[in-house]
Structure 1
């Protein structure tokens, strides 16, 4: 990933309306730096934003501008105030999503993200995994410190290799017995 501050003025023109909308929402340019550390990161491939990291930014609670970034493959929202995932439902190219330490509870908007391989949900309000049952490409799922108690929706995720259930209420892992890669 590269920092927006490292882009030349010509490259900045590549940035889509979605990023401009995010700038307006945050009230500052996306290429600002905080105490010398780059806060917002993104990667541009073929004039498309494919990676976007907005983690650790407290005033990010509405990610609706991201809905326009349809080529996004990686999205980091860790430690933000995000709770509504509906703007993500059409990000069909998304491969990795970090929602750790957010206010997320409803995963329904993720059910159509068929290419998703890595999902970080640790320290969220998630309890129902049913929307994940069709995510057949999912390989890594972190559920540490969530309200999850039933893992049966994960029983058909044959590509699942890593699953973190630490500090959950899960007592029956028998639905996972046929997951050979786990």
Structure 2
């Protein structure tokens, strides 16, 4: 629908009345994904109508593959990006276009993840008999790393990527130390 509206707008001979339903549908689609019309522009401004470059648009398949590769759940992503889980599911099922802010956010998470993998690999590159710990549950991960919003599942994905780069790496689960109670 949006592409049809853009094509029609590019045709200087198009009748404004004929374009109105296409433009209204396009505006509704932009508003649905959180886009806004810049002040002082018209609905007839073709550059505003389509808010991202088609080549830069993220497909539903790319979103799901990247999310899974990063070890992120749909629930975590929905919370992180402040969208309802139903909306996230619509992104991944191609029902709703993926907003640029989601694509950009996923690219940011990908970059941070790659940096973490790189730091681990660099620190372990000359070591022998290396054991690294990862986490079974979020509570343990967040207790040890309160500065992060990522999940234990994300950390396990990071460690899996590190294991591909560091031969002989042993991975173990973190076991929290439980302080002995005072019986006196």
Same fold (TM over 0.5): no
When Rg is computed on C-alpha atoms for both structures, the one with the higher figure is 2
**TM-score, structure 2 as length reference:** 0.28
